[in-house]
């Protein structure tokens, strides 16, 4: 049976995540998608049209989900769904986390495109999915590790 604190956390988490995931698809992020495509095309010497990259006759679209914003949404939903730490610390953790996530995401997209360039579209698809799950695990680990250090709270129950 789930206790009340966990239920409250999970309710807040899914409400935050759901709202911001919905927002991701209604807010225009094309500027970020084009920026990321332009950056990656420059790194790899690829042809590009807007947010579409061309590799070996295949088109790779940089979508809102490819921007790192989904990872930031996961992080934000975790951070802001908990009672502790305080809002100032939560805001700092989230802000630094978003910057790090964006930079790591640039590398993740690069690796996906390299897989597509050298090993084909199926390899890129596999690396895309695997790297997203790996990155999600890293988000949760990093949040927990660094938040424990910042707050001195030793267990997850202390954040509820």
Grade residue 159 by pLDDT with cuts at 50, 70 and 90.
confident
pTM: 0.85
On whether the CB atoms of residues 61 and 68 are closer than 8 A, the answer is: no
Dihedral of CA 67/99/106/14: which sign? negative
Q: How far apart are CA 90 and CA 78, in angstroms?
A: 10
Nearest-5° Cα angle at 40, 34 to 105: 90
- Can you give the pLDDT at residue 31? 97
pLDDT at 32 over 90: yes
On whether the CB atoms of residues 58 and 116 are closer than 8 A, the answer is: yes
Q: How far apart are CA 148 and CA 160, in angstroms?
A: 13
Tens-place pLDDT, residues 34-62: 999 999 999 999 999 999 999 999 999 99
- Can you give the pLDDT at residue 91? 93
Q: Flag the least confident range among 17-21, 26-30, 90-94.
A: 90-94
């Amino acid at each position: 049976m789930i206790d009340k604190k966990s239920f409250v956390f999970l309710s807040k988490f899914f409400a935050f995540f759901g709202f911001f995931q919905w927002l991701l698809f209604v807010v225009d992020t094309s500027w970020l998608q084009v920026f990321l495509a332009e950056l990656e095309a420059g790194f790899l010497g690829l042809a590009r049209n807007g947010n579409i990259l061309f590799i070996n006759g295949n088109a790779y679209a940089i979508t809102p989900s490819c921007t790192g914003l989904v990872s930031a949404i996961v992080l934000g939903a975790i951070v802001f769904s908990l009672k502790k730490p305080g809002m100032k610390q939560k805001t700092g953790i989230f802000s630094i986390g978003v910057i790090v996530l964006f930079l790591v995401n640039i590398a993740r997209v690069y690796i996906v495109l390299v897989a597509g360039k050298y090993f084909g579209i199926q390899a890129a698809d596999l690396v895309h999915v695997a790297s997203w799950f790996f990155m999600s695990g890293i988000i949760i680990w990093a949040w927990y590790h660094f938040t424990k250090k910042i707050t001195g709270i030793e267990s997850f129950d202390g954040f509820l």
